[in-house]
Amino acid sequence: MLPVPKKFFITAAAAEGKSKLTAFDNALLKAEIGNVNLVRVSSILPPDCEYTPGMKIPYGALVPTAYGSIVSDIPGETIAAAIAVGISPDSFGVIMELTGKFTKEEAEARITRMVQEAFEVRGMELKEIKVRAVEHTVEKIGCAFAAAPLWY
């Protein structure tokens, strides 16, 4: 049985690269999670998971992470990524990720509505929403990335 994460933070960053993969890698580095192994998870924040901004994770660790990314090679195109965590006062939380061809402000508004809907359909009380978003205007090859890494 895998342990249940006890800590989380949210991060978002954008970067350019010489290829789509290096643009993604550079965005991970700017988001301060470029030297760990992301294990993509879906959308549930464990109960009593503590928000820990600035948390350091050991290099090479396998890190459960809800994330979204978008890469574009169309110069001048605006791309965005957002992550939001809805926190319940007495239960688990919900994580939503969003990427697309829109502004940071549009991403923040859309992702906030997504978290509100997730709580509504579950019949849960929503205490707080934490949101991070980034937008990027592509120069050559760009990536926008947003994530909620979970840790122990």
Known catalytic residues are 37, 42-43, 97
Closest alpha carbon to 41 in 72, 4, 82, 81: 4
- What distance, in Å, lies between the first and last C-alpha atoms of the chain? 14
Asked whether 41 and 66 are in contact (CB, 8 A), the reply is yes
Backbone torsions φ then ψ of 23, nearest 5 degrees: -65, -45
Asked whether 104 and 126 are in contact (CB, 8 A), the reply is no
CA dist 124 → 52, 61, 66 (Å): 23, 33, 21
Q: How many residues does the chain have?
A: 152
Closest alpha carbon to 61 in 5, 111, 142: 5
